Amino acid sequence: MLPPSRRDFVSLTVSESGGYTNGKQRRQSCWRKWKQLSRLQRSLILFVLVLLLIGGIATYPSLSAQWGALSDTAVEENSVEGKQPFVVELKNQGRPLLPEPPSEQRRNSHKRGPPVLQSRLQNKGNSSELRGAEVKNVEEGDGSKPLISWRGAVIEAEQGTDPNAKEKEKAVEPEDPSAAQLVESRLEAVREAFRHAWKGYKDFAWGHDELKPVSKSYSEWFGLGLTLIDALDTMWILDLKKEFEEAKQWVATELSFNKNVDVNLFESTIRILGGLLSTYHLTGDALFLEKAKDIGSRLMPAFSTPSKIPYSDVNIGKGTAHPPRWTSDSTVAEVTSIQLEFRELGRLTGDPKYQAAVMEVMQQVHKLEGKHDGLVPMFINTNNGQFTHLGIYTLGARADSYYEYLLKQWIQGGKKETELLEDYLQAVEGIKKNLLKKSSPLGLTFVGELSHGHFTPKMDHLVCFLPGTLALGAHHGLATEHMELAQQLMETCYQMYTQMETGLAPEIAHFSMQTGSIQDVDVKLADRHNLLRPETVESLFYLYRFTKDKKYQNWGWEILQSFNTYTRVETGGYTSINNVRDPKYPSPRDKMESFFLGETLKYFYLLFSDDPNLISLDKYVFNTEAHPLPIWPQAE
């Protein structure tokens, strides 16, 4: 028998110093202790050890799985870029958003309240932290040089006419599966949004100009299937083959321009002629070129004016044209933003009349008095060819795309038409000198308006095309300052969204310039609508393409969520809204503009894509309705 003290427990001796003891001594002392134990005690210990060993082996797979999951969760929680937006997106998929009542959370929130948007706000801090890492990854892309592609003035003179020049540029390779998954999930979210919009159009407005998604009906403007034509190349780019084929069938069998109908020259040129030409280039299908020739030739009577400055309206069936009933003026942006399309039609047909007509307009405008540091008034008279309503200068409605097309024609033609470039550069200086100011409290750079020498801090959403255009110019060799200004204005356009309760920008913003202001962006009651316009998303696309800074994609993602939350109609389609400041009742206007499919969703898709060759900006130039047209080969 063992003495009682040894029977009930195994005593372990700890060295007196409590510290390190020589290993050999310790092994000997352990062995001695082991030998001192009874056989029963040794058997018990061995039995317990064997049990522990068997238990350990049996539970190893599930433990390792749990550990794996735990570490994944940790990654998810820490990686805003990698996972959180993906989760948000899945929550959002296919959710009916109008006329869904606001949630309790939304009602109680001072600012924007929907769960999705709260996630968005939470993401902000993290996303900039992550951005650092992302930029670093991009910069380390090939282990040496940054992959950032815009190079300001150091760009080669011929770039833009050499289609291979930028092919060497690598796509941003997502370095881990979750990054690739994020890109794909965002692209899929845009496809899903398109399909939803298309469903509404197909069910309630097929072959008509615009969907009225709330009343499940349609409206006509020209009666030419405007939404369908505007959306053709978007479907091609988004790889929506089934939808594209059914639309193509409609074009082949139903579309006729032999109609006694008045159309607006500018709108039908940028949406219909531009849409058909770009679809022809993307698909190579002659059907679209034939239709483009048909509408192009039918629009030509607009140029039969005393001054050769075209009328605003054409009857494409009768071959007659006229100005609006109340004036003989045309809008400056309208007569100077049809050139890309007619120049391309001229190139494809070999008929010089198309180019001659639109270049005549540019030459006249180039020479006109009445500009202010390169800035143009909003109206031009079709009888005498002079500017009218002098003294008001804006980058918004009625002037906007004049500036855009100066640059883009120069790019389209291989950067040889120096008058276009001169006018563009002078205008940018004019903008900087006369229209740029800083807001309070954030110090955002914004573009205001000048009215007879008086500055107004008013900025149309339309002006948000400007960051993209400035960035495009810098990419094609113009001053790096243009790129810096583009980035500042991009932030401003983003703030026009994020400072609104719905996360959607108003049609017109007024910027506060007084110190002590609480918010930079103020909106008048009459300006609170949102028409699903593309300009900010368009500029985000250019800025991301040229800088690879993920923040632009993230901003775009936030905006897409807001469109889904406040403008998506359950039965199909998206609607413009009346009030971006009221998340409880944004008040649907019951209209889906054709540019939502032609431009907004296309630019979302291109923004979220990391492939610089998906409509390479060294091969194509987008018209003002987002229809890509080729940059002419060098020899032409």
Q: Does residue 590 have an active-site annotation?
A: no
**Nearer of residues 227 and 624 to ligand DMJ, judged by Cβ:** 624
Which residues of 346-498 form beta strands (DSSP E)?
379-381, 387-388, 392-393, 436-438, 445-447, 449-451, 454-456, 458-460
Do 565 and 503 form a contact (C-beta atoms < 8 A)?
A: yes
Nearest-approach distance from CB 534 to ligand DMJ, in angstroms: 6
**Nearer of residues 198 and 603 to ligand DMJ, judged by Cβ:** 603
Residues 10-49, mask of contacts with ligand DMJ (x by CB under 6 A): ----------------------------------------
139, 267, 360, 570: the catalytic one is 267
**Nearer of residues 88 and 302 to ligand DMJ, judged by Cβ:** 302
CB neighbours of residue 184 within 10 Å: 14
**Kind of pairing between the strands at 449-451 and 628-630:** unpaired
Nearest-approach distance from CB 624 to ligand DMJ, in angstroms: 4
Long-range contacts formed by 164-169: CB under 8 A, 24+ apart: 165/618, 166/612, 166/616, 166/617, 166/618, 167/613, 167/616, 169/612
400, 404, 520, 610: the catalytic one is 400
**Nearer of residues 329 and 599 to ligand DMJ, judged by Cβ:** 599
**Nearer of residues 408 and 545 to ligand DMJ, judged by Cβ:** 408
CA distances from 442 to 189, 212, 455, 499, 552 (A): 32, 38, 20, 11, 19
The continuous run of DSSP H or E covering 103 comes out as none
Q: Give yes or no for a cis peptide into 4 (omega within 30° of 0).
A: no
Helices 535-547 & 480-498 angle (0-180, nearest 10): 130
**Kind of pairing between the strands at 379-381 and 387-388:** antiparallel
Nearest-approach distance from CB 595 to ligand DMJ, in angstroms: 4
Do 313 and 334 form a contact (C-beta atoms < 8 A)?
A: no
Nearest-approach distance from CB 158 to ligand DMJ, in angstroms: 29
The continuous run of DSSP H or E covering 508 comes out as strand 508-511
Q: Does residue 549 have an active-site annotation?
A: no
Is 558 an interacting residue with respect to ligand DMJ (CB under 6 A)? no
- Contact positions with ligand DMJ (CB under 6 A) in 305-344: none
Is 127 an interacting residue with respect to ligand DMJ (CB under 6 A)? no
Cα dihedral: 155, 158, 163, 168 (round 10): -40
Out of 328, 401, 434, 575, the residue judged to bind ligand DMJ by CB under 6 A? 401
Rounded Cα distance, 628 and 276, in Å: 10
Nearest-approach distance from CB 278 to ligand DMJ, in angstroms: 14
- Say which amino acid occupies 34: W
**Nearer of residues 86 and 194 to ligand DMJ, judged by Cβ:** 194
Out of 624, 628, 629, 631, the residue judged to bind ligand DMJ by CB under 6 A? 624
Nearest-approach distance from CB 602 to ligand DMJ, in angstroms: 11
Q: If DSSP codes are grouped into helix, strand and coil, which group holds residue 265?
A: helix
Q: If DSSP codes are grouped into helix, strand and coil, which group holds residue 77?
A: helix
Nearest-approach distance from CB 105 to ligand DMJ, in angstroms: 32
CA distances from 1 to 4, 32, 53 (A): 9, 19, 31
Residues 426-465, mask of contacts with ligand DMJ (x by CB under 6 A): ------------------------------------x---
**Nearer of residues 342 and 595 to ligand DMJ, judged by Cβ:** 595
For the chain, helix, strand, coil in percent to 5 are: 50, 10, 40
Residues 497-526, mask of contacts with ligand DMJ (x by CB under 6 A): ------------------------------
**Nearer of residues 405 and 494 to ligand DMJ, judged by Cβ:** 405
**Nearer of residues 362 and 399 to ligand DMJ, judged by Cβ:** 399
Out of 298, 533, 568, 591, the residue judged to bind ligand DMJ by CB under 6 A? 533
Do 123 and 554 form a contact (C-beta atoms < 8 A)?
A: yes
230, 313, 535, 610: the catalytic one is 535
CB neighbours of residue 164 within 10 Å: 8
Rounded Cα distance, 78 and 65, in Å: 20
Is 408 an interacting residue with respect to ligand DMJ (CB under 6 A)? no
Nearest-approach distance from CB 400 to ligand DMJ, in angstroms: 6
Q: Does residue 507 have an active-site annotation?
A: yes
- Contact positions with ligand DMJ (CB under 6 A) in 574-603: 595, 599
Nearest-approach distance from CB 533 to ligand DMJ, in angstroms: 4
Q: Does residue 417 have an active-site annotation?
A: no
The continuous run of DSSP H or E covering 321 comes out as strand 320-322
Out of 553, 625, 627, 631, the residue judged to bind ligand DMJ by CB under 6 A? 625
Beta bridge partners of 629: 621
Count residues binding ligand DMJ (CB under 6 A): 8
- Report the residue closest to ligand DMJ, judged by CB: 624
507, 520, 590, 625: the catalytic one is 507
Nearest-approach distance from CB 627 to ligand DMJ, in angstroms: 10
Is 264 an interacting residue with respect to ligand DMJ (CB under 6 A)? no
CB neighbours of residue 613 within 10 Å: 14
Do 243 and 259 form a contact (C-beta atoms < 8 A)?
A: no
Out of 534, 556, 583, 586, the residue judged to bind ligand DMJ by CB under 6 A? 534
**Nearer of residues 533 and 589 to ligand DMJ, judged by Cβ:** 533
Rounded Cα distance, 488 and 507, in Å: 20
**Interface residues with ligand DMJ (CB under 6 A)?**
401, 462, 533-534, 595, 599, 624-625
Residues involved in catalysis: 267, 400, 507, 535
